[in-house]
Structure 1
């Protein structure tokens, strides 16, 4: 596929029952693609194969953690993630390889995301551009402790060593735990706006209320796993103020017993950076 560093980066797309979205997005990719199918019941795998992608068929829905299987299957130094309704702008991955090669402490590059035909800037991209964590000399952009999973390039070995995306969190806010684990291992994460991702979100089959509950659940579980108990208490208290928050709190409480031994708070410097973001 011309124009990209084919031997250095592979695109991984995790999906389930999203054949129409894949028909529109896969034609835009300019690097090898691995589609990880989360036990679809439609013709998603066939659509991906017809577009020339390598397809990994999982026996059950692992949601966001399906990306781990894709990363394990690659033979490239870097992995770019995309959703079934997003794609990397031409030349972005070639540039990402150059940046990562030049910044060996950087494990993750977060791109600027443009939404829809109107190319509206994604609010999360705006937040990352203003993140108050500074720009260390050995990073290629502002330091971040969060990202959108559909718009990052990762150093494959660092990603896998950190455990990738959690099977427990499933989806919805799954990025924070990985960001904290990479930072705790000494890696840098940076926002690099010259890298661009196009995202055309599909609303098919989406339940906004359920997604909000899942995000609150995952925020609470991530706090329990990696943050001091006072931070966990603050997040739990804030969840009580809405119906979705209370539902998310109940969902988190149901999962906590299984995670009792998985709690591993991050180092003080990483927590200080995370607390600074909370104040911002």
Structure 2
């Protein structure tokens, strides 16, 4: 199709590539629509859940655990800084948007702790949940039904005081569980580069957050519609990572182009039960994007 044939006022209705096949997407959208009938189905599910304290307690425990892993407790009081929300929203950037690269500077353990706590941590008590096993806290990220299907695996490359490796974020403990020692940051970086084409963004990253979704947590309540909700949850978390990273004057960027199966192999997760959703890099913020807008 020639550019002269495009209708720029109705771009969303243009087929840019004539051989595109949207059958899979159209089928997914149709099968995950809400209707009066599907609402009734969700209502029946909720009634059964509420009537069973054991199910309630299980669903309230929305996180994975690695009991045999080496544990690194994080500082719950790590400061986020005093940047206003308005400034953080205005200064938020994706580092790779215009060819910029992260600076090869380490993150501090407190910076990593603050990003995790204020993006996805247990930041407040919820007394009405306290009766359920392992419950009783709320998080800064919204989640459909409070089911929190997203898991965070920080791949640590250059954080002061933390051995390079693949970690899992344990929310209630505000701790990192080391699920695999890295064998050095260079070795880990090489493995990460096999999981995506974003090699420039990975090169100087201090941390690469890999996000997965335990989709059955949400589908158990919301049936097939729950898959959409899981993706919404991931988007909410990513925006929190952007804003907290900006408040800490870090460079950040979401990575949508992760190779699903290779990344699952790196994490040793089941790609059918806990699919990889996306990655997110954090590290030294390029000088041209300082919060005061000064150019390098």
TM tier relative to shorter chain: under 0.3
Larger Rg: 2
TM value normalised by structure 1: 0.22
TM value normalised by structure 2: 0.21
Higher RCO structure, 1 or 2 (CA under 8 Å, sep 6+)? 2
